[in-house]
Amino acid sequence: MKQQSQLAKLGLFDAKVPRYTSYPTAPQFRNDVDPERFSAWVSEIKPNSSISLYIHVPFCRRLCWFCACRTQGTQSDSPVRAYLEVLKAEIAMLGRILPEGVTLSRLHWGGGTPTLLAPDMMTDLAGAIAEIAPFAPNAEFSVEIDPNEIDAPRLDALAAAGMNRASVGVQDFDPEIQQAIGRIQSYDETRDAIDMIRARGIHSLNADILYGLPHQTQARMTESVQKLLSLNPDRVALYGYAHVPWVAKRQQLIPSDALPTPEERLELYETARKLFLWDKYAEIGIDHFATQSDGLTAAANSGQLKRNFQGYTDDQSDVLIGLGASSISRFPQGYAQNASATSVHTKAIREGSFSTARGHTFQGEDKLRARLIEALMCDFRIKSTQIMADFDISSAALQQMFAAVAQQFPEALQILPDGLYIPEQYRPLTRMIARGFDAYDKVSTAKHSSAI
Ligand SMILES: C=Cc1c2[nH]c(c1C)Cc1[nH]c(c(CCC(=O)O)c1C)Cc1[nH]c(c(C)c1CCC(=O)O)Cc1[nH]c(c(C)c1C=C)C2
Ligand SMILES: C[C@H]1O[C@@H](n2cnc3c(N)ncnc32)[C@H](O)[C@@H]1O
Ligand code: SF4
């Protein structure tokens, strides 16, 4: 409880802060990044290097009320088939400007629900990608899988296309919570999906679960986590439920009076965390857990952990290209985001242009600040010597930046001879501390989700 009151004093339970999957964060993007700039950045990719590719499928058969992802519901296949043609055209356009010899170290299909594609569509999509860039050695191809929207033929198609990692959406196993968040999914359904995935030789499995859901209690959280542990996931993303009905209108269906308080959210996180740690999972950054033999754990232990739009990754490539409506690309030069609306994206591609609508070109201290924020979000520490090796900044100037932020978080931030450190008991404050290094959010009016 002493910890809670200290965290309270520092404002944890009132704060609204970004999740820092990028810096600057997406709400700061502006419309000065256009298709021309996106194409220029693509053409500046080093020949023969490997990059990551993200493909967004913005459709779902069911629209879960809690969900804040960019997606739309459809029962028919025709909009999905039309979208697939658009994606293939976009992939081919990218292929025409991609420098010689570029390979894929990572391919991720996300959404929405990429598994609502019919098997022939999956094969078609994978083929179109293979035509423009082959996989690099040891490439990882992962797909987000809704256990409610998958079957043997679709898994066969994905496995044949080279999928070697899967991420399943679980959210919570409790029936009353499932009712309240508009996502019904039995334990058996989830288990069967995971069994089918593993039966195809896919031995790297992530599961997403949430804390902070309506009607969630410590006892229910314990039961859900234990059920999840019985399925032996290699990785777990334990996201804080972001209640942002002003962004995601369908969240208005969620009974807000049944939501846990910020103090309860912290306890729910701690309850789940302890169970994962007891089961020998390693804690990865602010909200992931992984088995000791998982690549994320190795990356975290060797200081190679990175943060991207999907959360945490051990991917080391400095280029991530996102295709499809609303997808974001990251280059050494900056970020580029496609048009959010599927209709706008479709129109651009059909007219032979990328749909890049907004983004951010790195300038001034952006890359330095991005590195400081990523280091805090990944390692809870900043090593000055590593920063000085990559940026033109003096030790004194860095210490001055640290001191300014440390002043806002007395005790919670330790200034070391070689940098900065967040002790374990203050780690719930990490996003708030990261914001101390954010030069844009201070003047923004973006309304974020709660800090914990
Ligand atoms: C796949 C699901 C999600 C992704 N991000 C979130 C979810 C649930 C959560 C989220 N992201 C943002 C917010 C709002 C404010 C905040 O708390 O910071 C929430 C709740 C911000 C945000 N992230 C992205 C964008 C474009 C925005 C800005 C607001 C908006 O346009 O809605 C980037 C982004 N996040 C995700 C994807 C797939 C994606 C872009 C392709 C994942
Ligand atoms: C891709 C993953 O994003 C997570 N997700 C979807 N909507 C939200 C939200 N409102 N808050 C937090 N996480 C969310 C789910 O866990 C999903 O599986
Ligand atoms: S949680 Fe998954 S299935 Fe549900 S609406 Fe969001 S993207 Fe679609």
Q: pLDDT tens across 379-397, in order?
A: 999 999 999 999 999 999 9
The rounded mean pLDDT for the chain is 96
pLDDT exceeds 60 at position 279: yes
pLDDT score recorded for residue 444: 62
Q: Which of 218, 215, 235 is nearest to 271 (CA)?
A: 218
Ligand 1 atom closest to Cα of residue 310:
42
Give residue 450's pLDDT band: very low, low, confident or very high (50, 70, 90): confident
pLDDT at 128 over 70: yes
Binding site for S-adenosyl-L-methionine, by residue number, is 54, 66-68, 111-113, 144, 171, 183, 208, 242, 328
**Which amino acid type is present at position 65?**
W
Average pLDDT over residues 260-282: 97
The token pair that represents 100 in the structure block: 């010689």
CA 197 / ligand 2 centre spacing (Å): 21
Residues making up the chain, counted from first to last: 452
Confidence at residue 12, expressed as pLDDT on a 0 to 100 scale:
85
Among 71, 74, 172, 189, residue to substitute to test ligand 3 (most atoms within 8 Å of Cβ):
71
Statement: residue 161 has pLDDT above 90 = yes
The residue contributing the CA closest to ligand 2 atom 5 is 67
> Two tokens at 106?
């990572």
- The whole-number pLDDT of residue 10 equals 86
- pLDDT higher than threshold 90 for residue 14: no
Q: Which residues are annotated as a binding site for [4Fe-4S] cluster?
A: 60, 64, 67
Largest CA distance in the chain: 61
| Atom 4 of ligand 3, nearest CA residue | 64
147 lines ligand 3 (CB under 6 A): no
- Predicted confidence band at 190 (pLDDT cuts at 50, 70, 90)? very high
> What average pLDDT score do residues 63-80 get?
96
Q: pLDDT at position 329, please?
A: 98
Cα 416 to ligand 1 centroid, rounded to whole Å: 34
Domains of the chain, first to last: 22-328 (3.80.30.20)
Q: How much is the pLDDT for 443?
A: 64
* % of the chain residues with pLDDT over 90: 92
60 lines ligand 3 (CB under 6 A): yes
Q: Vertex 285, ends 281 and 286: CA angle to 5°?
A: 100
Q: Is 146 in the pocket of ligand 3 (CB under 6 A)?
A: yes
Task: Encode pLDDT of 408-446 as tens digits.
Answer: 998 899 999 899 999 999 999 999 999 999 999 876 657
- Distance between CA 176 and CA 222 in Å, rounded? 15
* Pocket lining: 211 vs ligand 2, CB cutoff 6 Å: no
Nearest bound ligand to the CA of residue 114: 3
* Binding site per annotation, positions: 54, 60, 64, 66-68, 111-113, 144, 171, 183, 208, 242, 328
322 bridge partner residues:
54
201 pLDDT above the threshold of 80: yes
pLDDT of 1: 57
Cα 130 from Cα 293, distance rounded (Å): 30
State mean pLDDT over 12-17. Answer: 85
Q: pLDDT tens-digit profile of 145-158?
A: 999 999 999 999 99
* Closest atom, ligand 1, to C-alpha of 340: 31
Q: What is the pLDDT of residue 119?
A: 98
- Residue 442: the pLDDT is 74
Residue nearest to atom 29 of ligand 1 (CA): 27
